[in-house]
Structures are given as structure tokens and as C-alpha cells.
Amino acid sequence: MPIDPKIALGATLPGQKFAWSPSDVQLYHLGLGAGARWTDPAELRYLDDRSPQVLPTFATVAATLRATEAPRVSMPGVEIDLAKVVHASQEVVVHRPIPAEGKASSTGRISELWDKGSAAVVVQETAVTGSDGQPLWTARSSIFAKGEGGFGGERGPSTRSELPDRAPDFDVTTPTLPQQALLYRMCGDRNPLHSDPEFAHDAGFPDPILHGLCTYGIVCKTAVDTVLGSDAARVTGFRARFAGVLYPGESIRSRMWLGTGEVHIAASVPEREHAPVLADVRLTFSS
């Protein structure tokens, strides 16, 4: 049985110790397309050699930057074929700006497990502490596993939110490169779904798709650049639900509604009749 809820729910995940450097931060930002405005001082803050500012979404790759093998979906009570899995949602809450260089340790657990009938949703929560013993960030992520439901668990709540009933305050279209997924995979996500055409075909896609976390990072950067004057240190959190796929070389349209200390975002693909790619997107920030 791939999922055993009695073992999985609440299970502690192996802790990790990891470190990163300014070069790692630069690589991550380049994987998101940073540097397109190569003479803009605000843009170059992401790529400074000694002290680049750090997008909060760097938290999603900080512990896996050195990975060279495809990931496995193997946790206590959970064993799932990678080809059946898609990323469902991601949230990062930063307790202070992430430094350009650092060491940290993480602790995690399976916090939620939902039975959708034909599929399962597994939610992980990870807390990360810096070498000084102080919290750095907390991350929550969920995966959607096709064909793995039916284990008798609860269906779970609906988390969809409504967008404001007015025109967006900002409407920005961001291009991606044909080689975007091949660049981003250097940050440690070697899932062949993003690089191997045959694997992608077997998984039901016409071509390799862009990593959901790459799209997630691109939209966060777009919002930071548009709303916060490219000041990543002001971001306190960023969350999104993965609502569709993006193929490398397509564009991302980000419609943004500004509120008090927050931005709500809808991200879609103009080349495919504005098919959604991220939904329920919310960036929070300090004044």
C-alpha cells in the first residue's frame, strides 16, 4: 500500500543541515531569469558577487542545491511513483531576510494527509533555523498524487480564495527562455519531467514542463520588482497553488491587486488563452 495514514500523518521527517553561498543565490536567481535588465542597478542587486539580496523563494532550493539525482517520494508511510506526482501548493514564511551566505538546519513533519478519492494530497511543514539558533523560515508544501487516494482518509478543506472584483493594479507579462527548465534544474531539482522528452510524454505531457517552483519564483520576483521596488527584504511570505503547467519559452502574465501589506496575484499563460498556471497567490510584505 503506497500510503498508510496511520504511519504517515504527523510523522517526523529526517532533519537536514545545509549551507549556501552568494554564488548559490546568484545561480538560483539566474534560474528564474534574473539579469534580463543587465544594466539596471535594481536588477543587479540579485546578482551581486558578495552580497546579493535573496528572494524568499530561495528557501525552496536552499537544502537541495547539491542534489544530482531525481527526487524520490519516500516518507514514513508514503511511497509513490514520481511520475504520478505533481506539486500542488507551496508557501514560505520568512522570519527575517535570508542572508546571502549562511548555514542552517531543518526539522519537518507530515502535517496533513487528504484523500481525494482518485488522488491523495500530502502536506509537509518544515521549520528552518540559522546557525545562530534563530528561526529563518517556515515552509509548507503539498503534493498531489494521482491514483493514490482511496485509503479512507478525510477529503480535506477547499483553500481557494476569490480575487478582488476590480481591475488589477498591475498587469505584467514576463517571458521565459526555451532553456529555462534546464537552467533551473541546476538548483537541485533533477526531476526528468522537466528535461527528458520521453519521460514527459509517458507522464502525459507533449514536452517537458517548467518546474512549478521556477514559475513560483518568477512570479514572486515579478511582484517584488513591480510593487516593492525590487526590495526583496520587505517580503514576509509568499504562497501559491499550482493550477496548470507552463512550457519553457512561454510567458507568464501576472495580474496583481495591492492591499494593505499584501498583494494578491493571478498568473496565467497568454500564449494559451490565459490558461492559469498559479492561483491563490498571495505575497505579504512589511512597510
Active site residues: 189, 194
Q: Angle at CA 178, nearest 5°, toward 35 and 233? A: 30
> C-alpha distances in angstroms, 142 versus 26, 89, 247, 279?
27, 5, 21, 14
- CB 210 within 8 Å of CB 180: yes
Cell of 77: 508511510
DSSP 3-state of 187: helix
Cell 492591499 sits at which residue? 259
- CB 90 within 8 Å of CB 26: no
DSSP 3-state of 12: strand
Q: What are phi and psi of 61, to 5 degrees?
A: -120, -10
Largest CA distance in the chain: 56
